[in-house]
Amino acid sequence: MLLYYYMTTFSEEVDLIWPQPRWKLGKLLYLGSRYFNVVSIGLNIAGTLPTNLKLTDQGCTVLSLLRMQIGSLALHFTKAVFYLCTYALLGGTQRYLRILIFAFLVQFIALQILNWYINLAGSVGTGSKLHSQLGYACVWKEPSDNATYRKLYSAASLISFIVASISFLAGLLTFLVRYQRTNNGLIRAIRREGIYFYVFALVANLLSALRYFVSSKDSTADTVLGCFNLLGRYLVPIFSDRLLLYIQRLEGSTIDDELSRIIFKPIDYSIDTDPDESDYDEKRDVERPCHDIHLIGEGKRVADRSGVRGKSVYSIV
């Protein structure tokens, strides 16, 4: 589903994102979320589906580490978009920016380290002869130190749940309480077209983290929350993608917005005119005289090219 969405929206990426300066925040977040997710999906296919790859135990370990780290990067690039939206809803002040950057980096670094040790504590390698004949390159095996693995996994799940809960409450309450006091381009994008993406993503993140923290294996709660986790895994990147595109499509409203200028460079929507048809003669540095005007009927009138309107339609010849 996610790959299909990316393929069908590639033209929007080319038209709206590629022309942006190289280090613009919006461009970095958009491309990072998009292509880290593509790589993550490819690694998941290679590691979990019957692809007939021939790997050693060491190769399976490396593949598993890459899957976890790239998947985590993809997830955090996506989350960064919603941190950015929360920052905008809080008014775009430096104080909130420092708090959000600190919170984001702390949970990002902590989860990256924990995920690394979780992967090392686990056991991934080549399977039996039957697995090989079925085309599976790697299989998951029971960890040698199961107690350590469970402790690390529980710690990572707890951090994810706390971060998701705080993000959900902060994002929802900030939008409901403070959005009326702020009116910038990003706020208008969220309020006009992106609020559904914003709220649904917050809910999906919360339910995804809730699964690993409160549900037990093979329970009904685990099955239900597992469905939300799967939806969140593929829908939240889409919500993030659409929200950034909505911000970019704000025609001219971001030009005077310092916050929006940080995210994207405003697009010039002016229409280029043919020099031969222009009223301005660059060689003489004077305006050309207006053409003759003839009445052709009732309606609107253009007396000259300054946009004066009346009750009649005139033909410029």
My answer on whether 228 and 316 are in the same domain is no
My answer on whether 228 and 303 are in the same domain is no
**Helix, strand or coil, per DSSP, at residue 125:** strand
CB–CB of 204/232 below 8 Å? yes
My answer on whether 63 and 181 are in the same domain is yes
* Residue 277 in domain: no
pLDDT at 314 over 50: no
Q: Answer with the residue of higher pLDDT: 291 or 178.
A: 178
My answer on whether 93 and 171 are in the same domain is yes
User: For 138-157, what is the mean pLDDT?
Assistant: 76
Going by pLDDT thresholds of 50, 70 and 90, the confidence category of residue 189 is: low
What's the mean per-residue pLDDT of the chain? 71
pLDDT at 221 over 70: no
pLDDT at 316 over 50: no
- pLDDT tens figures, 154-178: 788 778 778 777 777 777 777 677 6
* Count of structural domains, the chain: 2
Structure tokens at 268: 């010039």
My answer on whether 86 and 234 are in the same domain is yes
My answer on whether 24 and 138 are in the same domain is yes
* Residue 115 in domain: yes
CB–CB of 288/281 below 8 Å? yes
What's the pLDDT at 31?
92
Q: Which domain holds residue 308?
A: 291-317
* Residue 279 in domain: no
What's the pLDDT at 292?
43
My answer on whether 81 and 29 are in the same domain is yes
79, with CB counted inside 10 A (0-12, 13-18, 19+), is buried
My answer on whether 297 and 238 are in the same domain is no
My answer on whether 217 and 97 are in the same domain is yes
- pLDDT tens figures, 30-57: 999 999 999 999 998 888 888 888 888 8
111-115, 144-148, 249-253, 313-317 — most confident range: 111-115
- Rounded to 10 degrees, the C-alpha dihedral 268/274/280/285 comes to 90
HSE-CB at 278 with a 13 A cutoff on CA atoms is 14
* pLDDT > 90 fraction of the chain, expressed in percent and rounded: 6
Q: Answer with the residue of higher pLDDT: 274 or 68.
A: 68
The pTM (predicted TM-score) of the whole model is 0.69
State how far the Cα of 78 lies from the Cα of 84, in Å rounded to an integer.
Answer: 10
The answer to which of 57-66, 229-238, 306-315 has the lowest mean pLDDT is 306-315
* Residue 305 in domain: yes
* Residue 286 in domain: no
My answer on whether 316 and 242 are in the same domain is no
CB–CB of 189/97 below 8 Å? no
User: For 262-272, what is the mean pLDDT?
Assistant: 59
> Which of 50, 96, 105 has its CA nearest to residue 76?
105
What's the pLDDT at 271?
43
The answer to which of 17-21, 35-39, 85-89, 300-304 has the lowest mean pLDDT is 300-304
Going by pLDDT thresholds of 50, 70 and 90, the confidence category of residue 245 is: confident
* Residue 124 in domain: yes
Going by pLDDT thresholds of 50, 70 and 90, the confidence category of residue 265 is: confident
My answer on whether 149 and 224 are in the same domain is yes
State how far the Cα of 108 lies from the Cα of 86, in Å rounded to an integer.
Answer: 17
* Residue 299 in domain: yes
pLDDT at 305 over 50: no
* Residue 285 in domain: no
My answer on whether 175 and 303 are in the same domain is no
The last residue of one of the domains, among 222, 247, 263, is 263
